[in-house]
Amino acid sequence: MIAAAHRTHRGYAAFVIHRLSGVGLAAFLPLHFLALGTALNGEAALDDFLRWTAHPLLKAAETALVVLLTAHLTGGLRLLALELLGWRDWQKTAVAMSGGVSLAAGLMFLLNLGVP
């Protein structure tokens, strides 16, 4: 079946990840802006918010967001290269690089959380 066959292609996985990460980031952005806006109420208000984010579950969520952002960035760069530069021969490499760089960014963020 053609409909099932295209879903096994790496390009399809990259397309789905790009879409899902984009929607996730669009949903997160207003909350991120609202959180930063607490600084308008002074340092104490921002500190209260930062203390709330110190929970391990929220650190895990932050790390996931870093991975989502990097996945959307690298997936987007791949799309720009495909559409504007016509680089089609190295699609599989580009998809693999997108995944690798995204995970590496998340790992760097996670490792840096505990560095004094």
Partner 1 sequence: MSVRSETRLWLAQRASAAVLALCVIVHLATMVYAVRGGLSAAEILSRTRGSSAWLAFYLLFVAAVVIHAPIGLRAVLREMTTWRGRSLDFAVVLFGILLAALGLRAALAVFA
Q: Which stretches of the chain bind partner 1, using CB under 8 A?
A: 19, 22-23, 25-26, 29-30, 32-34, 36-40, 43-47, 50, 66, 69-70, 73, 76-77, 79-80, 83-84, 105, 108-109, 112-113, 115-116
The answer to whether 60 and 67 have CB atoms below 8 angstroms apart is no
Environment class of residue 106 by beta-carbon count within 10 Å: exposed (0-12), middle (13-18) or buried (19+)? Answer: buried
The answer to whether 101 and 16 have CB atoms below 8 angstroms apart is no
Q: Indicate the residue among 5 and 27 with the shorter CB distance to partner 1.
A: 27
Residue 8 beta carbon to partner 1: minimum distance, rounded to whole angstroms? 20
Q: Indicate the residue among 14 and 69 with the shorter CB distance to partner 1.
A: 69
Q: Indicate the residue among 1 and 116 with the shorter CB distance to partner 1.
A: 116
Residue 76 beta carbon to partner 1: minimum distance, rounded to whole angstroms? 5
Residue 22 beta carbon to partner 1: minimum distance, rounded to whole angstroms? 5
Q: Please list, residue by residue across 15-47, b when 16 or more beta carbons sit within 10 angstroms of its beta carbon and e when fewer do.
A: bebbeebeebbeeeeeeeeeeeebeeeeeeebe
Q: Indicate the residue among 33 and 57 with the shorter CB distance to partner 1.
A: 33
Q: Which amino acid is at 62?
A: E
